[in-house]
Structure 1
Amino acid sequence: MTRRTFDDSRRWTRLGTELFLKATEAGQDGPSALPGWSRGHVIAHVAANADALGNLVHWAATGEPTPMYSSPEERAAGIESGARLPAAELTAWLRRSADALAASMDALDEPRWRAPVVTAQGRTVPASELPWMRAREVCVHAVDLAADVSFADLPTDFLTALCDDVAAKRAAAPGPAVTLRAPSARAAWKLPGHGETALVAGELTDIAAYLTGRSADPHTADGAPAPPLGAWL
């Protein structure tokens, strides 16, 4: 497992935001790579995520508990309504929320980055985890827009950190036993689940796609279908 740094996460956030904004030039109409979601849904989701993470930055800065979302229902409704906005309004929300989040992060000092906040999944984390959460969001969803951005466009060090993160989450939850290897990246991960251990080997981009549920046709090293993985987040 590699060690990602705070500076890495800030850098990946900036790069991922640029990639995502570029990918939105394909427009909000048409299907995304996520079942049941249009590109507009993905754009609205990422815009809402910036606002929600901004709530956690506010929590860290002031000590005032400010949840990411008031409820799961409010979160879902916001995405649905956002996806129906006119293109100019949706794009303006995306840019405004991304800029506001970046500015609020820039304003945090070192003690405030150590302040505990609670994520939408109920995890208590230091605020220093927020840049990683945003980097993961913009980078992976840039691929989900299905607009000429792929995992191959993401930095190798980000992909390695992503695989570390997702594999650790999957290893702590029920699921199939899988060993994953990316020889070109000299990296490997193990999911100690149930059943006979399957070996999934390939390029780092392929492993990242499989772990995050973005691979359309994953296979094991011997050509058999790779075991399906459950939800990641």
Structure 2
Amino acid sequence: MTPITPEQLLDELRRAADVVAGIVAKLTEQDVEAPSELPGWTRGHVLAHLTGIANAMARQLEYAARGENIELYDGGVEGRTRAIELAAGHSLAEHRADLDSALARALRAFDSLDGAGWKRPITYRGGVVFDGGLALWRELVIHATDLGTGRGPETWSRPFCEQLFDFLAARVPDGERFVLQPLGLPAVAIGTPGGTSTVINGMLTDIAAWLAGRTPTLGSLRATAAADGVDLPELLPWPAGTPVTNVNK
């Protein structure tokens, strides 16, 4: 896997924000009230969450630029949950205005970075600004799919899927090793070196969707262990340190 550069990440963030904004521009009031792909959440919940994470990541950068750190959400996870529930029932116009403002704020914060800025420490996962950029990229791309408007995991790019392989290696149970074998691409091994090995074959996007707890859309996944067909292995929860939106994330 080729590491992504800050410049490439910034381009990906802009592209992902445009995709989300484009989806929201086509929604109706009834669409916002309808169920999303996330259990128990309407599309309004997903939009409120996207607004919240964009604002939260923007303020991580704003504080980091002053040499300060601040928690990701006011009030922590409980504050985040309250904010989503309060905003989920907003009108379409309110969601559009709030999300447009949040995305613009986040992109301004990332646009303003110089080389050193990407390395400033932030509170999110005890990482640096670059880690925050990767997190926002994941949130925008995955939740664009969760809105359930027809843009499924099959639209995820190769760089995005490969980044997910790296981040979601933490979902491999201890003592196990997954050999991810996307069709026509090099294999990627994640998990415990020398652990019990399971090979996951399929389209790149299907493997990424499965790791992310989403439904593969191309129906291509197959697991083998010691050359025998087996069920897809169980995954650990989404890596600790990321706010939870459902059992998979």
* Alpha-carbon distance change, 175 to 214 in structure 1, aligned in 2, over 3 angstroms: farther
The structure 2 residue matched to 1:56, chosen from 56, 60, 63, is 60
2:211 alignment counterpart: 211
AA aligned to 1:45 is H
The structure 2 residue matched to 1:160, chosen from 162, 181, 189, is 162
User: SS of the residue aligned with 2:32?
Assistant: coil
The structure 1 residue matched to 2:118, chosen from 110, 113, 116, is 113
Residue 139 of structure 1: CA displacement? 0.7
Residue 159 of structure 1: CA displacement? 1.6
Residue 219 of structure 1: CA displacement? 4.4
Q: Identity across aligned pairs (percent)?
A: 30
The answer as to 2:88 corresponding to 1:88 is no
Once structures 1 and 2 are overlaid, which stretch shifts more, 175-184 or 123-132? 175-184
1:18 alignment counterpart: 18
The structure 2 residue matched to 1:220, chosen from 223, 232, 237, is 223
The answer as to 2:81 corresponding to 1:76 is yes
Residue 89 of structure 1: CA displacement? 0.4
* Alpha-carbon distance change, 114 to 191 in structure 1, aligned in 2, over 3 angstroms: closer
Q: Is 1:58–1:66's contact at 8 Å kept on the other side of the alignment?
A: no
2:171 alignment counterpart: 170
Q: Is 2:175–2:196's contact at 8 Å kept on the other side of the alignment?
A: no
1:133 alignment counterpart: 135
Residue 196 of structure 1: CA displacement? 5.0
Larger relative contact order (CA 8 Å, sep ≥ 6): 1
Residue 140 of structure 1: CA displacement? 1.0
Once structures 1 and 2 are overlaid, which stretch shifts more, 204-213 or 131-140? 131-140
AA aligned to 2:182 is A
Q: How many residues align?
A: 228
What is the TM-score of this pair, normalised by structure 1? Answer: 0.87
Residue segments in structure 2 that go unaligned for 5+ positions in a row: 240-249
| Cα distance in 1, alignment partners of residues 184 and 86 from structure 2 | 43
Once structures 1 and 2 are overlaid, which stretch shifts more, 141-150 or 21-30? 21-30
* Alpha-carbon distance change, 215 to 228 in structure 1, aligned in 2, over 3 angstroms: farther
Q: Is 1:181–1:202's contact at 8 Å kept on the other side of the alignment?
A: yes
Provide the aligned C-alpha RMSD in A: 2.3
| Cα distance in 2, alignment partners of residues 184 and 96 from structure 1 | 41
Q: Is 1:55–1:67's contact at 8 Å kept on the other side of the alignment?
A: no
Residue 190 of structure 1: CA displacement? 2.8
AA aligned to 1:231 is P
User: SS of the residue aligned with 1:190?
Assistant: strand
* Alpha-carbon distance change, 223 to 144 in structure 1, aligned in 2, over 3 angstroms: farther
What is the TM-score of this pair, normalised by structure 2? Answer: 0.82
1:42 alignment counterpart: 46
Residue segments in structure 1 that go unaligned for 5+ positions in a row: none
The structure 2 residue matched to 1:31, chosen from 24, 32, 35, is 35
| Cα distance in 2, alignment partners of residues 199 and 114 from structure 1 | 35
Once structures 1 and 2 are overlaid, which stretch shifts more, 198-207 or 151-160? 151-160
AA aligned to 2:139 is E
